[in-house]
Amino acid sequence: MSIHEIPGGITAIKGITASGVAAGIKKNKQRDLALIYSATPCTVAGVFTKNRCPASSIQFNKARLRKRQGQAIIANSGNANAATGPRGMEDTKWMARVTAQSLGIPEHLVYVASTGVIGEPLPVEKIQQALPGLTAALSKENGRAAAEAIMTTDKMVKEFAVEGPVGQSRIKIGGITKGSGMVHPNMATMLAFLATDASVDPALLQEGLREVTHRTFNAITVDGDTSTNDLVLLFASGQKGSLINQKGKPYQQFLALLEAACSRLAQMIVQDGEGATKFITVQVIGATHDRAARQIASSIARSNLVKTAFFGQDTNWGRIVAAMGNAGVAINLAKLDITFGKIPLLLKGMHQGKEVEAEVNAYLKNKELMLSVDLHEGAGTATFWTSDLSEDYIRINAAYRS
């Protein structure tokens, strides 16, 4: 049996429980404090934002990750605890400490994540008051409540889990994620927490998560902005299967499973993109190498003009060409194919005529769209996922905070 979806999210993994409550950090009284707990210590891998003004939680987790061990994640929404100076770091450390006390586990096994408004001090009293209830509520069922509690401008709860063969065993990976704006590679205002029952060498787990994140969470864009707080954490409990400690077939199977989980979670973020009305897969093939393909895919996926044309359901392929030209990669227009869905509009740089364009116009009325670009130069490929850019994006972001 190959990889298939299973119900639930992060708590689909044996030994993992979670909870989410409303601590009053958000003004709207929705859930804003999440806890994820593993019955046993796990091997941990993490990938962090490349923003040069990272939140205190990012710096904190990076240091913590050196031991590659963890048992719990405490996460709040409504306040990013970013650009909050020395007090910000104290508050992050305090969050880890009180969570460890509440769970009765060593402090160094707790990770901290925050998302929300930047530059305001964390309301620590509210968190302190909510913590006993949060800990008491840990359960399999409350995995969804945890997924709710990390949402900011998200409209849908995002959780997903898969099961598939790894070596002689069947392994599960489940996760929850949030993010709907400021979504761009390296990374979005995006949190993702994943767990697996696989047993993986710490260095390999880290390498694998980094590789898969590059192709999934770092291959999505909503508005080209990258946040101060983004992170992906993966807990491996090691409850099932043999230890994966080399890059053989089991490791490749594990990577495929991890990619199945992460790509679906990443796609959910784009689908929930602020104001998004369309989900667009941008596929670049035939580039001289993968890196060139990725630069072109990214340039198309983040172009405001391309994104508004998709919103307007307009076959404005000239904007796609212009965006490709901005990728900093040499392009031979005389070789270029541009295909919408299965309809080739441009073949070897030649427009296929008004009738074909009319077909593309009709195709663009769909909500899920595929844009393929073939450069016919080599074997380099890349896939990006993006949304259209609508008036609602502006409304949401002009009003946020107020």
User: Is-contact 221 184, C-beta < 8 A?
Assistant: yes
Ranges of H-type helices in 7-123: 56-64, 85-103
Please pick, from the candidates 316, 339, 352, 381, the single residue that binds a second copy as defined by CB under 8 A: 316
What's the min distance (Å) between Cβ of 343 and a second copy? Answer: 16
Please pick, from the candidates 31, 126, 172, 319, the single residue that binds a second copy as defined by CB under 8 A: 319
Complete DSSP assignment for 177-207: EE--SS--SS--S-EEEEEES--B-HHHHHH
The site string for a second copy over 273-302 (x = CB under 8 A, - otherwise) reads -----------------------------x
Comparison of 6 and 117: residue with beta carbon closer to a second copy: 117
Entry field: residues in the chain: 402
User: Is 288 an annotated catalytic residue?
Assistant: no
Rule CB under 8 A: is residue 331 a binding residue for a second copy? yes
Return the amino acid letter for 94: W
Rule CB under 8 A: is residue 355 a binding residue for a second copy? no
User: Is-contact 351 334, C-beta < 8 A?
Assistant: no
Rule CB under 8 A: is residue 141 a binding residue for a second copy? no
Size, binding site for a second copy by CB under 8 A: 60
Return the SS3 of 398: helix
> Hey, CA dihedral for 256, 259, 264, 270, is it positive or negative?
negative
Rule CB under 8 A: is residue 401 a binding residue for a second copy? yes
Q: Measure the CA–CA gap between 183 and 177, rounded to whole angstroms.
A: 12
The token pair at 170 is 């069947």
Burial (0-12, 13-18, 19+ Cβ within 10 Å), 258: buried
| Structure letter (DSSP) for residue 333 | G
Q: Measure the CA–CA gap between 10 and 174, rounded to whole angstroms.
A: 4
Comparison of 115 and 267: residue with beta carbon closer to a second copy: 115
Neighbours of 317 (CB within 10 A): 18
Rule CB under 8 A: is residue 340 a binding residue for a second copy? no
Stretch of 116-124, 235-243, 279-287, 378-386 lying at the interface with a second copy (CB under 8 A): 116-124
Rule CB under 8 A: is residue 362 a binding residue for a second copy? no
> Hey, CA dihedral for 205, 41, 62, 145, is it positive or negative?
positive
What's the min distance (Å) between Cβ of 313 and a second copy? Answer: 8
The site string for a second copy over 63-102 (x = CB under 8 A, - otherwise) reads -----------------x-xx-x-----------------
What's the min distance (Å) between Cβ of 377 and a second copy? Answer: 13
Please pick, among 49, 115, 153, 189, the residue that the annotation labels catalytic: 189
Stretch of 37-45, 160-168, 325-333, 367-375 lying at the interface with a second copy (CB under 8 A): 325-333
Comparison of 110 and 187: residue with beta carbon closer to a second copy: 187
Comparison of 198 and 324: residue with beta carbon closer to a second copy: 324
Comparison of 132 and 349: residue with beta carbon closer to a second copy: 349
Residue 236: which residues within 8 A CB-CB, separation 6 or more?
42, 43, 44, 45, 195, 196, 197, 198, 199, 200, 205
User: Is-contact 381 284, C-beta < 8 A?
Assistant: yes
Comparison of 386 and 390: residue with beta carbon closer to a second copy: 390
Please pick, from the candidates 39, 63, 136, 333, the single residue that binds a second copy as defined by CB under 8 A: 333
Comparison of 198 and 285: residue with beta carbon closer to a second copy: 285
Rule CB under 8 A: is residue 304 a binding residue for a second copy? yes
User: Is-contact 189 183, C-beta < 8 A?
Assistant: yes
The residues carrying an active-site annotation are 189
Binding site for a second copy (CB under 8 A): 51-54, 80, 82-83, 85, 117-119, 181-182, 223-228, 302-305, 308-309, 311-312, 314, 316-319, 321-331, 333-334, 349-351, 389-391, 393-395, 397-402
